[in-house]
Every structure is written in structure tokens, then in C-alpha cells.
Amino acid sequence: MKVSRLIKRRTVANEACDAGRVTVNDKPAKASTNVKVGDIIAIGFGTKTVTVRVLNIMDTTKKDEAKDLFEYLS
């Protein structure tokens, strides 16, 4: 999530997973959950849930290329 910039900091992503606010393919995700192309990730931000489909996996990316790693579903 950090590389794609869905969540800006790794510690915040870990906390979101620990709190049960992140699912991968409708299953609760741990911080160590591996994702693959085509997976659906849902992240709860307060009262709003962001759902995305993974389009590409990269170890690092530039800020302007991060948006190409996923597509918003809702």
C-alpha cells in the first residue's frame, strides 16, 4: 500500500491492518498479506471505504507512476 501510495506511511498501513480495516478479496488482511495482480483491496477510512483492483506490483515507483498500480472501483 505504501508503494502505491494508497496509504502514505508503512506504520499507518500496519495499524489499519491490525485494526481490521483492510480486506483483500473480502478476507481480513494482515500487514504481511501478499497481494497479486487482480486482487481486490478494500480500505476503511473513517466512514468511507476505498476499493481498488491491483493492476501491477512493483518494489518501488515514482510518485506519478503510482496511480498505474491500481484502479479505483469505489
Domain boundaries, the chain: 10-72
- Confidence at residue 25, expressed as pLDDT on a 0 to 100 scale: 98
Amino acid at 19: A
Residue 29 grid cell: 488482511
- CA 21 vs CA 31, 41, 50, 55: distances in Å: 11, 10, 10, 21
pTM of this prediction? 0.89
Using one digit for the tens of pLDDT, what is the confidence trace for 2-48? 788 889 899 999 999 999 999 999 999 999 999 999 999 999 998 99
| CATH domain 10-72 topology | 3.10.290
Please report the pLDDT score of residue 4 as a whole number.
86
